[in-house]
């Protein structure tokens, strides 16, 4: 599911392109008023289909970018206010990582600090999500606006990476981000100087922060726990960084590998099966949306040799990676670019 507020930029972008949002909602199989109430939720796959239909109808391949650029932290409700009122940028991003699952399930926020840089990104983990490239564009623009809001006007990313192929026209991307752009990346993320993490947020307010944190704690306790979904989210974070091991995952949930094994078995699954499914989803999305070589992708997913990845992919789909990508590209419809649009 995903809260309608997080999709509120879609109808704004559609109207800016002269398209009635109701038409696109219907094409996506949604009710005319599906996005009217910001607290309502729709399925994650329906949200992807909505983006896909919007891009096709407007003939705009960077539609996700336009929709995301209309979003601000306010779209996250209490969580957005909490991020803005946090003591510093690090705690704001940590809060988003910890609580965004209350807003959306199907993708997960990533936050890492390595060397002199930090990264703030997003990873989709739900199988069969349409419009993933558009979704990544939307979230990168949204996260860019979040960081601008909490860091202030002098913050800029040093690089923005996208887990999809380079578009024919990078102008709209450059207009928004104004930094180095990296396409065909294994993950979608904004990179920036790590020094920003210890800076106070622009609207830091400890007195306001504490009651907001208590409010989110109450919401967390009231939220039905789906431990298998929690494991999927944790695996999606780790499958590309070499930490997708059962012992590592058990440590995340403060339990032992044996206890994690029992938990998964009681739900009719296993660590091996969930890891296999996660690798499949990541492999399929990157083969579909990027031009990453299959050999490189196998290494990223933790396979010891190209042949092992090829065997796994053939088991999943009946085809080796290269043949599957070729078959997909031969039948994929091309969505041409729309007329020039002011990305701002």
Name the band, by pLDDT with cuts 50, 70 and 90, for residue 333: very low
322 and 189 together in one domain: no
191 and 244 together in one domain: no
Final residue before a domain boundary, out of 153, 177, 206: 206
82 and 196 together in one domain: yes
Neighbours of 245 (CB within 10 A): 14
The CATH number of the domain holding residue 269 is: 1.10.10.60
Final residue before a domain boundary, out of 206, 239, 266: 206
202 and 72 together in one domain: yes
pLDDT in tens, 102-113: 888 888 899 999
112 within domain boundaries: yes
In sequence order, what are the residues at sequence separation of 6 or more whose Cβ sits closer than 8 angstroms to the Cβ of residue 167?
A: 61, 62, 173, 183
143 and 190 together in one domain: yes
Q: In the prediction, which pLDDT does 332 show?
A: 59
186 and 250 together in one domain: no
State in Å, rounded, how far the first CA of the chain is from the last one: 28
Share of residues in the chain with pLDDT > 70 (%):
96
192 and 76 together in one domain: yes
310 and 186 together in one domain: no
- Give the SS3 label for residue 81: helix
307 and 192 together in one domain: no
15 within domain boundaries: no
pTM of the model: 0.90
Q: How many domains does the structure of the chain reveal?
A: 2
Question: What long-range pairs does 10-15 form, CB within 8 A, spacing at least 24?
Answer: 10/35, 10/50, 10/51, 10/54, 10/67, 11/35, 12/67, 12/70, 13/54, 13/63, 13/66, 13/67, 13/70, 14/54, 14/58
266 and 172 together in one domain: no
- 100: tokens are 């965004």
Domain carrying residue 299: 227-331
Residue 14: is its pLDDT beyond 90? yes
């Amino acid at each position: 599911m995903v809260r309608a507020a997080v999709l509120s930029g879609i109808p704004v972008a559609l109207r800016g392109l002269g398209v009635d949002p109701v038409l696109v909602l219907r094409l996506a199989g949604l009710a005319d008023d599906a996005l009217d109430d910001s607290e309502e939720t729709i399925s994650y796959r329906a949200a992807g289909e909505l983006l896909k239909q919007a891009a096709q109808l407007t003939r705009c391949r960077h539609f996700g970018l336009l929709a995301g650029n209309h979003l601000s932290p306010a779209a996250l409700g209490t969580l957005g206010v909490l991020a803005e009122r946090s003591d510093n940028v690090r705690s704001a991003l940590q809060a988003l990582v910890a609580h965004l699952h209350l807003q959306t399930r199907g993708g997960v926020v990533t936050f890492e600090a390595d060397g002199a840089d930090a990264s703030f990104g997003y990873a989709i983990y739900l199988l069969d999500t349409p419009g993933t490239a558009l979704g990544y564009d939307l979230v990168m623009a949204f996260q860019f606006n979040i960081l601008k809001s909490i860091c202030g006007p002098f913050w800029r990313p040093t690089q923005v990476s996208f887990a999809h192929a380079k578009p024919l026209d990078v102008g709209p991307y450059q207009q928004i981000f104004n930094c180095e752009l990296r396409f065909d990346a294994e993950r979608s993320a904004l990179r920036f100087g790590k020094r920003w993490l210890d800076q106070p947020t622009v609207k830091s307010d400890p007195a306001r922060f504490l009651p907001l944190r208590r409010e989110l704690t109450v919401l967390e306790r009231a939220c039905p726990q789906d431990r298998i979904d929690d494991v999927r989210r944790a695996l999606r974070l780790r499958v590309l960084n070499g930490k997708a091991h059962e012992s590592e995952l058990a440590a995340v949930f403060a339990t032992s590998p044996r206890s994690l094994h029992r938990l998964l078995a009681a739900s009719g699954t296993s660590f091996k099966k969930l890891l296999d499914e996660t690798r499949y989803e990541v492999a399929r999305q990157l083969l579909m949306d990027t031009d990453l070589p299959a050999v490189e992708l196998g290494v990223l997913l933790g396979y010891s040799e190209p042949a092992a990845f090829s065997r796994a992919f053939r088991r999943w789909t009946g085809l080796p990676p290269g043949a599957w990508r070729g078959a997909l590209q031969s039948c994929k419809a091309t969505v041409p670019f729309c007329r020039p649009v002011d990305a701002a």
